[in-house]
Chains A and B, each alone.
Chain A
């Protein structure tokens, strides 16, 4: 197992009151697997991702990556944030090279690697621009290239396409699918879109309303290249929608 989430619980203390956000999460993620996390707003998806990333400590339980407990953030787990979080003072290329610079990779080698990933996300001609000069979709591509160029075995993505319009979103989904067939990362992907989850995931994990537990796991047995209009695709979609709706309804009760 690449990632093992073992009985992870997390409570937050605010104004002297402890509120549980995650309860007893158990999840094994296989090497090269792409898992999508779905669930109502506030159910703890980001919290779980942040714990795996090492940004937060669980209140109890452990996360193992390659069998070793996670103690903090590290280069083995790349993160793609919803708000991109590029370094605004660096060019696109500088951003993509950031992790390599930290490792002391020589400049020409860095340039070669950055170019390869900028090609992969279709941004070679924008390499010298600064983040302020890019559209949201372009920034998200840079963020993905930056994560990939650092060669992590795991990538954690928290609603990476959430801020994008529907068309850009589908294009980036296709791009991510294509990249995944080449790069074979282990990916934990948080989304609110059931279509997105069925399009990308090997398994879809649906969480309960807060405090978050795992409600149900769907293995998506569809071919690598997926057709959003295939009957099997819509079958998964409606099945998962039904389960997610039960939980979203609870939030509004």
Chain B
């Protein structure tokens, strides 16, 4: 309810400023697109199919890069969480590489993987891996050791402990890690597509700059925002149904 109002207020503010600017020409009208123009660009690009192509191109890259990174982060995060020797080995490497802004490596990825799909997928994978890995390992390390004792005295083997205690106990944290990673993937796809891409939402936005079409830039940005919220809402809904046991008290 309040969220709806806030969105409406933001739209109204934008409309007020941009249409007001039309009247007083405070800045060049073409620089500040109005909602009407953005909707027009949106409808045009839906009609000629270019928007669908851009969205699917970007989403496929995001899905592939994020999927690979998520699988790796999950496997390595759990391994680091359960094995102290592996943790001591991996931790310094991670701490060394992680503070480097991933964008600094983007040109490297273009050099290594070329301008095709591989460079974008690899870049998204690289960027999203670290935060997801760190969050997965942290949630595994946070698992209450008493739960492990309880399971071990019921006969759990090491594999049982991972499968039946560590994974379910860490799952809420793991889902948060995946949400984080997915949001980040949508974040960096734009950067990856700014440089050397011939399709995708980032390319669409860059094209708006090249052909001086600010409405197209704003439209691309809004579509990205919508995709982000939709993905987040989906994951939150999945969390709700998955973690009934945490909210059971409130609903019964």
Same complex: yes
Give me the interface of A with B, judged by CB distance under 8 Å. 53-55, 72-75, 77-79, 81, 83, 85-90, 98-99, 101-103, 129-133, 146-147, 150, 156
**Closest residue on chain B to residue A88 by CB atoms:** B245
How far, in angstroms, from A74 to B160 measured CA to CA in the complex? 13
Known: A85-B146, A89-B245. A53 touches B153 (CB 8 A): yes
B248:A83 contact, CB within 8 angstroms: no
Is B68 engaged at the interface, CB distance under 8 Å to the other chain?
A: no
A149 to chain B minimum Cβ distance, whole angstroms, is 9
Which B residues touch A83, using CB under 8 A? Answer: 146
A81:B245 contact, CB within 8 angstroms: no
Which B residues touch A103, using CB under 8 A? Answer: 155
Is B164 engaged at the interface, CB distance under 8 Å to the other chain?
A: yes
Residue in contact with A85 in the complex, picked from B149, B246, B249, CB distance below 8 Å? B149
Residue in contact with B149 in the complex, picked from A55, A87, A102, A131, CB distance below 8 Å? A55
A199 to chain B minimum Cβ distance, whole angstroms, is 25
**Closest residue on chain B to residue A76 by CB atoms:** B155
A76 to chain B minimum Cβ distance, whole angstroms, is 9
Residue in contact with B168 in the complex, picked from A72, A87, A101, A131, CB distance below 8 Å? A87
Q: What band does the interface of chain B fall in when counting residues whose beta carbon is under 8 Å from A?
A: 20 to 34
Which A residues touch B153, using CB under 8 A? Answer: 53-54, 73-75, 77-79, 156
5 A/B residue pairs, CB under 8 Å, sorted by A: A73-B152, A74-B155, A85-B144, A99-B154, A102-B156
B149 to chain A minimum Cβ distance, whole angstroms, is 6
**Closest residue on chain A to residue B157 by CB atoms:** A102
B150:A79 contact, CB within 8 angstroms: yes
Residue in contact with A133 in the complex, picked from B147, B164, B243, B249, CB distance below 8 Å? B249
Extra contacts besides A75-B153, A78-B154, A87-B169 (14): CB < 8 Å: A53-B153, A55-B149, A79-B153, A81-B149, A81-B150, A85-B144, A85-B147, A85-B149, A89-B243, A90-B245, A130-B249, A131-B245, A150-B154, A150-B155
A-B contacts, CB under 8 A, total: 79
Which A residues touch B165, using CB under 8 A? Answer: 87
Give me the interface of B with A, judged by CB distance under 8 Å. 144, 146-147, 149-157, 160, 164-165, 168-169, 171, 243-246, 248-249, 252
Which A residues touch B151, using CB under 8 A? Answer: 87, 98
B155:A102 contact, CB within 8 angstroms: yes
Residue in contact with A75 in the complex, picked from B144, B146, B154, B168, CB distance below 8 Å? B154
B22 to chain A minimum Cβ distance, whole angstroms, is 57
How far, in angstroms, from A72 to B153 measured CA to CA in the complex? 9
B244:A130 contact, CB within 8 angstroms: yes
B244:A72 contact, CB within 8 angstroms: no
B223 to chain A minimum Cβ distance, whole angstroms, is 37
How far, in angstroms, from A72 to B168 measured CA to CA in the complex? 24
Interface centre among B146, B147, B150, B245, by most chain A C-beta atoms within 10 angstroms, is B150
**4 nearest interchain CB pairs?**
A75-B155, A99-B154, A73-B152, A79-B153
**Closest residue on chain A to residue B155 by CB atoms:** A75
B245:A102 contact, CB within 8 angstroms: no
How far, in angstroms, from A115 to B147 measured CA to CA in the complex? 23
A89 to chain B minimum Cβ distance, whole angstroms, is 5
How far, in angstroms, from A103 to B154 measured CA to CA in the complex? 9
How far, in angstroms, from A78 to B165 measured CA to CA in the complex? 17
A102:B164 contact, CB within 8 angstroms: yes
Which A residues touch B244, using CB under 8 A? Answer: 130
B170 to chain A minimum Cβ distance, whole angstroms, is 11
Which B residues touch A130, using CB under 8 A? Answer: 244-245, 248-249
How far, in angstroms, from A147 to B152 measured CA to CA in the complex? 12
